Amino acid sequence: MKNFVSVDDVEDMAALLHMANQYKNDPYATPQIGNNKILGLIFFNPSLRTRLSTQKAALNLGMHVMIMNFDKDGWALETEEGAIMNGNKAEHIKEGAAVMGQYCDIIGIRSFPNLEDRDLDYKEVTINGFIKYAGVPIVNLESAVLHPLQSLADLMTIEELKKKARPKVVLTWAPHVKALPQSVPNSFAQWMNRADVDFVITHPAGYELAPQFSQPATIEYDQQKAFEDADFIYAKNWSSYENYGKILSKDPSWMITNDKMKLTNHAHFMHCLPVRRNVVVHDEVLDGAQSIVIQQAANRLYAAQAVLKSILDSSTQL
């Protein structure tokens, strides 16, 4: 695998899942493969899970890790071609990415959308700029549009816990106080649409995801109906794609409660975290036996380790 930016970079999903499971059984199976290799991690936004799990994954492979909080410590990056840089942006991505590529063998980037200009966000200028100018493989640590490391860990968790060959997986919108990216639901939809699951998305009208990610999933506007017979409930808030970046509803009746979980087939509750308790999901669900959010977070490590291993394998073949 050259880059890991979306599901489209994965040549063989079953093989990648298998590798992640192998690392779960034996995290130190290949402690040397990353010797003398540097993973650079760049954060334009906060992170707990992605930062620590990706760092640990690299250490398990024998890599060294350099981390930079670009929002605080880096020069503000210009991404526009031909820009006259007389404003507050001190460095162009052409040099910034090319220089990082001199120091790092793989670069991971977290860069959220600004949620103001949809066309600009969906062009993925930061991650694509690094792909174009860094000259080394790029890993998406949640971009403006996608979060594939999360989705790989989510799929791994579903595979571990499913009780039937083709489980019903429901992605449900839930309320939140802030406008959040569509990256997690876009990416989850993209992966679920390729997995062997019965995939349903439920949200209030106006929260339709970009069709290139949601199709061909079933959209069900009645949350309770969507929950019927579900084996997995994946909750997440996102802001509107259509009315870009806007909060159209804070309707608390969309919060996940035990009463709603009772409509399901004893479903497992999933969330990528961080989650706002008693806004997105009631304590009784998150603290209950069906919640698998910590297992999901644990699997982030093995997902990242499999991705880094695949990239190291292909870069040594060159």
Interface with ligand CP (CB under 6 A): 47-51, 142, 150, 272-274
Supply the DSSP symbol for 277: B
Q: Fill in the per-residue mask, 172 to 201: x = in contact with ligand AN0 (CB under 6 A), - = not in contact.
A: --------xx-xx-----------------
Give min distance, CB of 45 to ligand AN0, in A.
Answer: 7
List helix spans (H) across 247-292: 258-261, 283-286
User: Cβ-closest residue to ligand CP?
Assistant: 50
CB–CB of 254/175 below 8 Å?
yes
Phi, psi of 33 (to 5 degrees): -65, -20
Phi, psi of 243 (to 5 degrees): -100, 75
Task: Supply 162's token pair.
Answer: 């499913």
Which of ligand CP, ligand AN0, none sits in contact with 183, Cβ below 5 to 8 A by type?
ligand AN0
Which of ligand CP, ligand AN0, none sits in contact with 10, Cβ below 5 to 8 A by type?
none
Give min distance, CB of 46 to ligand CP, in A.
Answer: 7
Which of ligand CP, ligand AN0, none sits in contact with 48, Cβ below 5 to 8 A by type?
ligand CP
CB–CB of 4/145 below 8 Å?
no
Alpha-carbon gap, residue 17 to 135, rounded angstroms: 27
Interface positions, 125-144, toward ligand AN0 (CB under 6 A): 142
Site size for ligand AN0, by CB under 6 A? 7
Q: From the list 272, 285, 286, 307, which residue makes contact with ligand AN0 (rule: CB under 6 A)? A: 272
Alpha-carbon gap, residue 187 to 209, rounded angstroms: 10
CB–CB of 213/186 below 8 Å?
yes
Supply the DSSP symbol for 254: G
Closest to ligand CP by CB, 30 vs 285, is 285
Which of ligand CP, ligand AN0, none sits in contact with 21, Cβ below 5 to 8 A by type?
none
Supply the DSSP symbol for 209: P
Binding site for ligand AN0 (CB under 6 A): 142, 180-181, 183-184, 272, 274
